[in-house]
């Protein structure tokens, strides 16, 4: 039983079934009875509709229309019982005004006695019925309110005026009794079949759990207060109580706040659904997007316009493009088997040509046209190896399905947002139509809390945030007036006061002129003003405002609205006020609001927020025009000097001149940044009174208000450039300050306004390793082995077929040992056999050494393999090498034993066949091991979430995902280091025959950096290393001028990358290249004088906001510089946080050098 007990319902149903009022011709017509019973209900939001439909499960009655309500896309309207609250009825016939409280389905009349007259809170209950009862002759106006009307609203609505006609529902009882028709109403007999949560003959009411007022209690977590609900009830409880069911009616009233609450809940639900999906899939989505950008193709750019606008055709087109690209991949894998460009490559061309024709036959042309498709397919082919490291097809399908679902969720959220904003747009820019009185603190609080909730929900999306900003700027809806207690008159007056003060320094706009001349009457910048002296004791600006002509011209309602707002903000509403002010800071832009609105925002902060208004006054700077003109001249001079130094650096010049120009440019740019933070301010603030609310010292607050934070920012920037530790400490101290809630908003508003005002004025003015050793050993052994083969093979060919006699038996030369031929007195054969044995033994020994050393190296590579496939191939490569080493060892032993025994078997066919088989295995394993070897980006792709070998640490929650993305950034932002040594041969002898020695003059260094670092400082730490046999590498101590050289380079055009000169530079250093926005790199080239054979180590560190390794190190490079240009090997990787053991810089620091990265030269596109 949803309402009442069983006995009560039984009696009600009996009364409903047996109506005592006759309707026959012999009795009185019920429509002519003296009174008519009325049961009010409300227009409400229906439950969520089924998927693919906009109509909820409880539609309005068939002949009803809700055209007076905004059209909805995501939900539909229905009829429900009224929320508990208040009902007001004006009887035009009897000129009476009645007040009812509503609890459940019971209406209680409150009669007004002398004690209730003039009071906002009235309680004098009289008759309680489940209906209203009025004379048949009455013409009524009726309205529902969730709050009790204040006496001011009651007086307002008792007057027959436009507001009454607009805001209250008209009920023409005589007209209804004549025609049995009523707008927004119907016969009471249809109540249960028309109102969703009122039952007709039993059953269960809909739950309405997707609204803020369900019909049954929703589940609540432990400790939470139970949520509000209003159960449904049987219509018999009403119909069985009315005097006459035939004449009784029900009428639907408007409850805008309930609809807005439910639409806000609907919007938040859609947002929560979208946010939950994004949070659930965020990590995989981010990684999938990165993989697609790295390995995929920008198919979206290839879709024709007419197809892009059709979702189904667009989806089919994208799938066909990827199917075509897959066929290109198949052809590419076939080409890998034939590097000669022969038949396999020709077959691949035929295969792709056929695929192209099939695509053209279906879609009319290749994606994007022939030329763009050729570029896209080449780019696709270049990334094929990368795609083989990831589960690309799975990743693409996941991304496709996830983005499609995300688009649907975003569309649903946007539609819900549009429904909500449509309703908010429909509200008048005043609270009275919602029956809330801004002069009443409790009712003002309810509206303000609703406004904050709506701001929080709408600000979560870009479109919602922009809508909020427009409301603030235009103030054509209720929400745009939230900071002014929803009072348009008050908002307009504060706008005018702000405009006057900004122009003259006076709230009334009288006195001081724009040039600072004249006396400002009531100007709050004048400490000597009598009003100001009084104000300095309390609430300076507010008292001045109250004393102004503008305030005196306000209506009593507007004045009381301001007082109510100040009282609310100074009490429990202060936190909400500050929150709303922060949310609206993005609206302080000319895109959304005129300068007037920005000025009034600042004034309003001081007027209303007693956290600062009781101790703060605004200060007008009368000398602003002259100070700003002088500041502009200083800026203009500095800009010209900066441009001059930049032009100097674009030209070639002497080393010392360019160094001086570069240092001067840095100083000028630093001075320009400082000057920008010393811009004169037209309006600031000052402490006028020490308040108990102030959490900072008077001196601190005074300093912040006078400079609007410019001096603090300047001090932090200067420390950042010179002392990182001191900067971090100061920044922390600043963050740790308890600035309160309103002070930052005030300073933000003043900064924004002063900035825009300065820009306007300026515009108007018209101004402005051990591994390497093993590899070398193996290569040397292979070289010696090959050289010996040149001697061994011909020797064996020459002795082939040579026979001799030993002990009356004939033997081939290799069938007997050298000593046997010597014993047989055949010295010739003995000598030939001895030489052949020596050559063969040497050849076999070198082969065995080469294979053994490389097997040792491969064994280490197995431990560092990046995948199981690479390790498997390295196993086979090592086994083949071990086999070759064993064969070589056997050949060596056989050759040595050839001194005494037969050694023909050493070069027998079995050896050649075995070596050939092992060689094939070796070559095949090497080929595939090299293919499976991954480093850098390929290794990241292989180990990422979508790789074939995901790294477990990267899948361990938020920290692992963050490390995965950080590693990718470290790889993509990796610099490149190239160097080329310059030396000459010096004759130490007395003639041309020498002796000679190599004299090193120095080396060129080229550092290639990503363009995203433009405008920032990169730290270099170079070190010259001394490498000697038998001891560890050590750092060579260098003088200061060695490090100074690193700053004397020049910026090189991207097309010259790697083209390092082969000679020492002259006296003139080339000019800097003028980079454009299209340049993806910055290249710093510098000559370093150095008289030893150079081995360079370099650490390149980026700013922390770009990329930072967990170990705090930068990119470590090492290079033994030679006379040809070579790229340095990076010694630390994202996949190992261990410092490189053979790096001197990993153990000891050298000297750090700051290198400012040049930005874009203006005028270049």
Do residues 789 and 905 both lie within one domain?
yes
Do residues 350 and 248 both lie within one domain?
no
Higher pLDDT, 194 or 593: 194
Per-residue model confidence as pLDDT tens digits over 609-650: 766 554 555 666 676 667 777 777 777 777 787 777 777 777
Q: What is the pLDDT of residue 218?
A: 79
Pairing of strands 1068-1069, 976-987: unpaired
Closest CA to 829 of 792, 801, 808, 793: 801
Q: Comparing 335-339, 381-385, 642-646, which segment has the lowest mean pLDDT?
A: 335-339
Higher pLDDT, 353 or 333: 353
Highest mean pLDDT among 11-15, 437-441, 536-540 belongs to 437-441
Q: Is the pLDDT of residue 143 over 90?
A: yes
Do residues 219 and 74 both lie within one domain?
yes
Higher pLDDT, 1143 or 1047: 1047
Query: In angstroms, rounded to a whole number, what is the distance separating the alpha carbons of residues 232 and 3?
Result: 7
- Asked if residue 376 is part of any domain, the answer here is yes
Cβ contact 277:64 at 8 Å: no
Q: What is the pLDDT of residue 509?
A: 64
Domain count, the chain: 5
Strands, DSSP E only, in 798-838?
803-806, 809-812
Higher pLDDT, 791 or 933: 933
Over 1149-1163, what HEC string results? CCCCEEEECCCCCCC
Q: Which region holds residue 790: left if phi is over 0, alpha if psi is between -120 and 50, else beta?
A: alpha
Q: Is the Cα torsion angle 787, 793, 798, 804 positive or negative in sign?
A: positive
Q: What is the pLDDT of residue 426?
A: 92
Residue 127: pLDDT band (50, 70, 90) is: very high
When pLDDT is averaged across residues 221-237 and rounded to a whole number, the result is: 80
- Asked if residue 725 is part of any domain, the answer here is no
Cβ contact 86:104 at 8 Å: no
Q: What is the pLDDT of residue 674?
A: 77
Higher pLDDT, 852 or 465: 465
Do residues 808 and 925 both lie within one domain?
yes
Residue 736: pLDDT band (50, 70, 90) is: low
Residue 818: pLDDT band (50, 70, 90) is: very low
Do residues 453 and 540 both lie within one domain?
yes
Q: What is the pLDDT of residue 30?
A: 56
Higher pLDDT, 506 or 921: 506
Q: What is the pLDDT of residue 598?
A: 75
Q: Is the pLDDT of residue 184 over 90?
A: yes
Residue matched to tokens 């600072």: 516
B/e letters for 1085-1124, b = 16+ CB within 10 Å, e = fewer, are bbbbebeeebbbbbbbbbeeeebbbeeebbbbbbbbbeee
Range of the domain at 920: 771-933
Pairing of strands 77-81, 85-91: unpaired
When pLDDT is averaged across residues 116-141 and rounded to a whole number, the result is: 93
Higher pLDDT, 126 or 592: 126
> Is 337 exposed, middle or buried (CB count within 10 Å of its CB: 0-12, 13-18, 19+)?
exposed
Per-residue model confidence as pLDDT tens digits over 471-494: 888 888 898 899 899 999 998 888
> Among 578, 600, 621, where does a domain finish?
621
- Asked if residue 633 is part of any domain, the answer here is no
Residue 509, CB half-sphere, CA atoms under 13 Å: how many?
Answer: 11
DSSP annotation of 649 reads H
Q: How many CB atoms lie within 10 A of CB 917?
A: 12
Cβ contact 603:618 at 8 Å: yes
Q: How many CB atoms lie within 10 A of CB 274?
A: 21
Residue 57: pLDDT band (50, 70, 90) is: very high
Higher pLDDT, 674 or 462: 462
Query: In angstroms, rounded to a whole number, what is the distance separating the alpha carbons of residues 577 and 584?
Result: 11
Pairing of strands 1017-1026, 125-129: unpaired
- Asked if residue 347 is part of any domain, the answer here is yes
Per-residue model confidence as pLDDT tens digits over 522-567: 333 333 343 333 333 335 567 778 888 888 899 999 999 999 998 8
Q: What is the pLDDT of residue 699?
A: 58
**Run of H or E including 657:** helix 655-676
Alpha-carbon dihedral 1113, 1115, 1116, 1121, rounded to 10 degrees: -160
Q: What is the pLDDT of residue 21?
A: 57
Q: What is the pLDDT of residue 580?
A: 85
**Run of H or E including 999:** strand 996-1010
Residue 903: pLDDT band (50, 70, 90) is: very low
Closest CA to 85 of 387, 434, 539, 594: 434
- Could you give the C-alpha distances from 278 to 257, 274, 417, 609, 1012, in angstroms and in order? 31, 6, 18, 38, 28
What are the structure tokens assigned to 179, written together? 């025609």
Mean pLDDT for the chain?
77
Q: Is the pLDDT of residue 834 over 90?
A: no
Residue 586: pLDDT band (50, 70, 90) is: confident
Residue matched to tokens 């989505």: 285
- Asked if residue 699 is part of any domain, the answer here is no
When pLDDT is averaged across residues 767-777 and rounded to a whole number, the result is: 46
Q: What is the pLDDT of residue 694?
A: 46
DSSP annotation of 25 reads T
Do residues 1030 and 1073 both lie within one domain?
yes
> Among 870, 905, 933, where does a domain finish?
933
- Asked if residue 388 is part of any domain, the answer here is yes
Q: What is the pLDDT of residue 753?
A: 56
Cβ contact 403:315 at 8 Å: no
Q: Comparing 465-479, 772-786, 800-814, 978-992, which segment has the lowest mean pLDDT?
A: 772-786
> Among 191, 220, 254, where does a domain finish?
254
Q: Comparing 442-446, 944-948, 988-992, which segment has the lowest mean pLDDT?
A: 988-992
Q: Is the pLDDT of residue 516 over 50?
A: no
When pLDDT is averaged across residues 271-293 and rounded to a whole number, the result is: 90
Do residues 1062 and 1108 both lie within one domain?
yes
Query: In angstroms, rounded to a whole number, what is the distance separating the alpha carbons of residues 329 and 381?
Result: 7
Per-residue model confidence as pLDDT tens digits over 67-89: 999 999 999 999 999 999 999 99
Q: Is the pLDDT of residue 910 over 70?
A: no
Cβ contact 235:199 at 8 Å: yes
Highest mean pLDDT among 16-30, 714-728, 1138-1152 belongs to 1138-1152
Query: In angstroms, rounded to a whole number, what is the distance separating the alpha carbons of residues 567 and 569?
Result: 6
Q: At what angle do helices 441-458 and 574-583 cross, to 10 degrees?
A: 40
- Asked if residue 665 is part of any domain, the answer here is no
Residue 504: pLDDT band (50, 70, 90) is: confident
Do residues 385 and 446 both lie within one domain?
no
Cβ contact 1029:1109 at 8 Å: no
Per-residue model confidence as pLDDT tens digits over 203-226: 788 999 989 999 988 776 666 667
Q: Is the pLDDT of residue 775 over 50?
A: no
Higher pLDDT, 316 or 791: 316
Do residues 898 and 805 both lie within one domain?
yes
- Could you give the C-alpha distances from 829 to 523, 843, 905, 1156, in angstroms and in order? 125, 21, 18, 77
Query: In angstroms, rounded to a whole number, what is the distance separating the alpha carbons of residues 600 and 499?
Result: 8
Higher pLDDT, 347 or 372: 372
Do residues 867 and 820 both lie within one domain?
yes
DSSP string, 659-686: HHHHHHHHHHHHHHHHHHTT---SEEEE
When pLDDT is averaged across residues 828-852 and rounded to a whole number, the result is: 51
Do residues 61 and 181 both lie within one domain?
yes
Query: In angstroms, rounded to a whole number, what is the distance separating the alpha carbons of residues 1130 and 1139?
Result: 11
Q: What is the pLDDT of residue 507?
A: 74
The residue count for the chain: 1165
Q: What is the pLDDT of residue 642?
A: 79
Query: Could you tell me how far CA 116 lies from the centroid of its own chain?
Result: 58
Query: What are the backbone angles phi and psi of residue 66, rounded to the nearest 5°?
Result: -115, 40
Query: In angstroms, rounded to a whole number, what is the distance separating the alpha carbons of residues 394 and 862?
Result: 29
- Could you give the C-alpha distances from 57 to 192, 196, 1126, in angstroms and in order? 15, 9, 74
Q: What is the pLDDT of residue 1108?
A: 85
Query: In angstroms, rounded to a whole number, what is the distance separating the alpha carbons of residues 671 and 673?
Result: 5
Q: What is the pLDDT of residue 798?
A: 46
Q: Comparing 301-305, 668-672, 922-926, which segment has the lowest mean pLDDT?
A: 922-926
Residue 550, CB half-sphere, CA atoms under 13 Å: how many?
Answer: 23
Q: What is the pLDDT of residue 518?
A: 37
Residue matched to tokens 């609703």: 450
Radius of gyration of the chain (CA): 45
Q: Is the pLDDT of residue 419 over 50?
A: yes
Residue 137: pLDDT band (50, 70, 90) is: very high
pLDDT over 90 for what percent of the chain?
Answer: 28
- Asked if residue 776 is part of any domain, the answer here is yes
Query: In angstroms, rounded to a whole number, what is the distance separating the alpha carbons of residues 110 and 126?
Result: 6
Q: Is the pLDDT of residue 836 over 60?
A: no
B/e letters for 75-90, b = 16+ CB within 10 Å, e = fewer, are bbbbbbbbbebbbbbb
Do residues 163 and 309 both lie within one domain?
no
Query: In angstroms, rounded to a whole number, what is the distance separating the alpha carbons of residues 226 and 575?
Result: 25
When pLDDT is averaged across residues 1055-1066 and rounded to a whole number, the result is: 90
Query: What are the backbone angles phi and psi of residue 91, rounded to the nearest 5°?
Result: -100, 105
């Amino acid at each position: 039983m949803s309402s009442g007990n069983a006995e009560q319902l039984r009696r009600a149903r009996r009364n409903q079934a047996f109506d005592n009022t006759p309707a026959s011709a012999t009795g009185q017509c019920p429509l002519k009875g003296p009174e008519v019973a009325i049961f009010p209900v409300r227009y409400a939001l229906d439950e969520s509709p089924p998927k693919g439909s906009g109509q909820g499960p409880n539609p309005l009655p068939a002949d009803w229309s809700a055209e007076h309500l905004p059209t909805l896309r995501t939900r539909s309207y229905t009829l429900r019982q009224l929320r508990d609250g208040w009902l007001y009825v004006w009887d035009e016939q009897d000129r009476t005004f009645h007040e009812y409280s509503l609890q459940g389905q019971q209406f209680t009349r409150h009669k007004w006695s002398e004690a209730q007259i003039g009071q906002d809170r009235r309680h004098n209950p009289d008759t309680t019925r489940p209906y209203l009862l009025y004379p048949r002759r009455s013409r009524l106006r009726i309205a529902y309110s969730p709050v009790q009307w204040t006496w001011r609203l009651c007086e307002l609505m008792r007057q027959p005026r436009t507001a009454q006609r607009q805001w209250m529902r008209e009920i023409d009882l005589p007209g209804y009794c004549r025609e049995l028709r009523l707008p927004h109403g119907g016969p009471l007999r249809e109540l249960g079949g028309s109102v969703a949560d009122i039952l007709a003959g039993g059953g269960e009411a809909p739950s309405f759990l997707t609204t803020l007022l369900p019909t049954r209690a929703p589940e609540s977590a432990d400790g939470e207060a139970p949520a509000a609900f209003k159960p449904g009830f049987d219509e018999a409880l009403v119909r069985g109580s009315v005097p006459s069911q035939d004449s009784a009616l029900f009428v639907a009233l408007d409850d805008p706040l309930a609809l807005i609450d439910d639409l806000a809940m609907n919007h938040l639900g859609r947002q929560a659904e979208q946010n939950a999906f994004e949070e659930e899939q965020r990590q995989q989505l981010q990684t999938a997007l990165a993989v697609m950008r790295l390995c995929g193709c920008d198919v979206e750019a290839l879709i024709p316009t007419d197809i892009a606008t059709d979702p189904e055709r667009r989806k089919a087109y994208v799938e066909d493009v990827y199917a075509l690209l897959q066929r290109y991949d198949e052809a590419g894998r076939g080409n890998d088997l034939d590097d000669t460009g022969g038949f396999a490559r020709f077959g691949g061309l035929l295969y792709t040509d056929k695929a192209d024709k099939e695509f053209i036959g279906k879609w009319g042309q290749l994606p994007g046209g022939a030329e763009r498709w050729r570029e896209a397919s080449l780019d696709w082919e270049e990334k094929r190896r990368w795609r083989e490291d990831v589960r690309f097809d799975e990743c693409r399908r996941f991304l496709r399905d996830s983005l499609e679902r995300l688009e649907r969720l975003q569309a649903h959220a946007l539609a819900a947002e549009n429904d909500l904003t449509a309703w908010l747009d429909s509200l008048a820019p005043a609270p009275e139509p919602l029956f809330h009185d801004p002069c009443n603190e409790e009712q003002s609080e309810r509206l303000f809390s609703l406004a904050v909730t709506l701001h929080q929900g709408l600000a979560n999306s870009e479109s919602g945030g922009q809508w909020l900003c427009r409301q603030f700027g235009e103030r054509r809806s209720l929400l745009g007036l939230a900071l002014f207690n929803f009072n348009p008159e008050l908002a307009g007056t504060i706008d005018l006061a702000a405009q006057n003060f900004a122009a003259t320094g006076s709230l009334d706009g009288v006195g001081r002129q724009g040039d600072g001349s004249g006396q400002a009457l009531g100007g709050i910048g004048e400490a000597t003003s009598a009003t100001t002296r009084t104000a300095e004791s309390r609430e300076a600006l507010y008292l001045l405002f109250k004393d102004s002509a503008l305030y005196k011209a306000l209506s009593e309602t507007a004045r009381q609205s301001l007082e109510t707002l100040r009282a609310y903000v100074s009490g429990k509403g202060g936190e909400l006020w500050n929150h709303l002010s922060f949310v609206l800071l993005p609206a302080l832009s000319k895109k959304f609001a005129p300068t007037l609105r920005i000025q009034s925002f600042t004034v309003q902060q001081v007027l209303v927020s007693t956290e600062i208004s009781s101790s703060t006054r605004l200060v007008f700077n009368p000398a602003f025009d002259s100070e700003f003109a002088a500041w502009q001249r200083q800026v203009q001079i500095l800009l010209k000097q900066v441009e001059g130094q930049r032009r100097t650096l674009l030209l070639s010049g002497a080393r010392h001149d360019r160094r001086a120009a570069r240092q001067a440019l840095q100083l000028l740019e630093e001075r320009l940044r400082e000057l920008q933070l010393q811009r004169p301010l037209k309006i600031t603030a000052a402490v006028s009174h020490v308040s108990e609310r102030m959490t900072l010292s008077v001196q601190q607050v005074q300093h912040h208000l006078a400079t609007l934070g410019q001096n603090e920012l300047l001090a932090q920037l200067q420390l950042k450039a010179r002392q990182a530790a001191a900067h971090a400490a100061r920044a922390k101290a600043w963050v740790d300050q308890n600035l309160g809630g309103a002070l930052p908003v005030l300073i933000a508003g003043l900064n924004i306004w002063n900035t825009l005002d300065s820009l306007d004025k300026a515009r108007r003015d018209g101004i402005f390793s051990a591994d390497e050793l093993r590899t070398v050993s193996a290569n040397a052994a292979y070289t010696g082995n090959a050289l010996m083969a040149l001697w061994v093979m011909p020797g064996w060919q020459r002795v082939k077929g040579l026979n001799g006699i030993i002990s009356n038996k004939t033997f081939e030369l290799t069938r007997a040992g050298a000593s046997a031929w010597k014993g047989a007195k055949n010295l010739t054969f003995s000598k030939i056999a001895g030489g052949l044995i020596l050559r063969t033994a040497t050849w076999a020994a070198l082969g065995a050494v080469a294979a053994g050393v490389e097997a040792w190296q491969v064994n280490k590579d197995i431990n560092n393999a990046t995948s199981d496939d690479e390790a498997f191939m390295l196993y086979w490569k090592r086994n083949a090498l071990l086999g070759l080493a064993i064969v070589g060892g056997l050949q060596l032993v056989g050759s040595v034993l050839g001194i005494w025994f037969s050694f023909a078997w050493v070069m027998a066919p079995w050896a050649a066949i075995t070596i050939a088989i092992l060689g094939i295995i070796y070559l095949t394993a090497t080929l595939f091991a090299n293919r499976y070897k991954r480093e850098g980006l390929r290794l990241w792709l292989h180990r990422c979430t979508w790789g074939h070998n995901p790294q477990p640490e990267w899948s361990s929650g938020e920290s692992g995902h963050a490390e995965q993305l950080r590693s990718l950034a470290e790889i993509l932002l990796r610099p490149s280091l190239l160097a080329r040594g310059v030396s000459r041969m010096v004759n130490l002898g007395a003639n041309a025959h020498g002796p000679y020695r190599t004299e090193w003059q120095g080396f060129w260094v080229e550092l290639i950096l990503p363009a995203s670092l433009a405008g920032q400082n990169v730290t270099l730490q170079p070190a010259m290393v001394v490498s000697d046999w038998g001891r560890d590498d050590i750092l060579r101590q260098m003088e200061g001028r060695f490090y100074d050289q690193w700053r004397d380079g020049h910026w090189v055009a991207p097309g010259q990358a790697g083209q390092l000169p082969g000679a020492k530079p002259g006296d003139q250093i080339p000019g800097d290249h003028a980079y454009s926005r299209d340049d993806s790199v910055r290249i710093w080239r510098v000559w370093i004088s150095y008289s030893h054979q150079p081995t360079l180590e370099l650490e390149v560190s980026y700013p922390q906001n770009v990329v930072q390794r967990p170990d705090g190190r930068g990119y470590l490079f090492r290079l033994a510089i030679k006379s040809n240009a070579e790229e340095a090997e990076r010694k630390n990787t994202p996949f190992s946080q261990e410092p490189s053991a053979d790096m001197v810089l990993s153990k000891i620091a050298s000297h750090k050098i700051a290198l400012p990265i040049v930005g874009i030269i203006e005028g270049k596109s």
